[in-house]
Amino acid sequence: MSDRATSPTDSVILVTGATGTTGSRVVSRLAGLGHAVRAAGRRPVAPGDTRAVRFDWYDSATHADALRGADRMYLIPPIGEPDPAAVMLPFLRQARTGGVRRAVLLSSSAIPAGGPAVGQVHSLVAELFDEWAVLRPSWFMQNFTGQQSHADSIRTEGAIMSATGEGRIGFIDADDIAAVAVRALTDPSAPNTDLVMTGPEALNYDAVAAVISEVTGRPVSHRPLTYEQMRDRLATGMPEEFAALLAGLDRAISEGSENRVTDTVERLTGRPARSFRAYAESAMR
């Protein structure tokens, strides 16, 4: 299977979170393939961009314009929301009634259907839509660049802080996630399943720090924290309940929950997933 999507149609594909890490990449790929895209977000994608529409999960007045004419949609849950299902359900029902037939949800490899937070949305999407997919990527490689928390601690403290211990993670490039999302949105048949996605290797944070050090020429280490230390550190910038959830995921990683590699990217796009070293050499030099 190639990375080329099916031919464009007259339908509109709605992309929520269109300025975010995966949403922006999905918009770019879809537009490049000639699909009609509606880029929805709380701030414009670009001044004067006719594809852009204001969208806020917490403001129902923005929902109708986002959905107008759409029959497929890419869903990014509200960031930091401990109960995204309660926030998203009215919109999902409105979308279903309004003619959206296919929904592709971004979730997490750590959270199965029926699990906490976005795991509840996973179940709703499967129940409400005849055509659907739930993308369950592992941790993003982009967490180590840009304005992300790990990137910030690398810049300011020369360290990655986590409660993962020696646990391994199949870090994945957001470009690979976007490529799979485009296939899930545009292929003639929807996956109608969840897709656990990883990079080609599982690494612990010590190995990640070593690669970053080699690529950048600056010493970077992994500084292990306890669950409580990680929870309290995260809680300085997000609701305590969500901080506890994320710290709990770190603890699960330390117990081996993310020590796996899947072939999802290559199986759906026809090309192998990008390695962390290749990403680092491209993004960190």
Is 19 among the domain residues? yes
**Taking CA 134 as the corner, what is the angle to CA 190 and CA 186, rounded to the nearest 5 degrees?**
35
Question: For the chain, which residues score pLDDT lower than 70?
Answer: 1-10, 44-50
Domain assignment of residue 61, given as a range: 12-137+173-198+260-271
Is 250 among the domain residues? no
Is 188 among the domain residues? yes
For the chain, how many structural domains are there in total? 1
**pTM summary value:** 0.92
Q: What is the CATH number of the domain that holds 46?
A: 3.40.50.720
Is 30 among the domain residues? yes
Residues in a beta bridge with 38:
14
The pLDDT assigned to 262 comes to 98
The pLDDT assigned to 48 comes to 56
| Residue 156 buriedness (CB in 10 A; 0-12 / 13-18 / 19+) | exposed
How far apart CA 126 and CA 130 sit, in angstroms, is 8
Is 187 among the domain residues? yes
For residue range 109-139, what is the model confidence (pLDDT) as tens digits? 999 999 999 999 999 999 999 999 999 999 9
Tokens of 175: 């470009």
For residue range 36-88, what is the model confidence (pLDDT) as tens digits? 999 999 976 555 566 899 999 999 999 999 999 999 999 999 998 989 999 99
The pLDDT assigned to 54 comes to 95
Is 76 among the domain residues? yes
Is 130 among the domain residues? yes
The pLDDT assigned to 49 comes to 67
The pLDDT assigned to 114 comes to 93
The pLDDT assigned to 17 comes to 97
Q: Which residues of 91-127 are buried (b: 16+ CB within 10 A; e: fewer)?
A: bbeebeeeebbbbbbbbbbbbbbeebbbbbbbebbbe
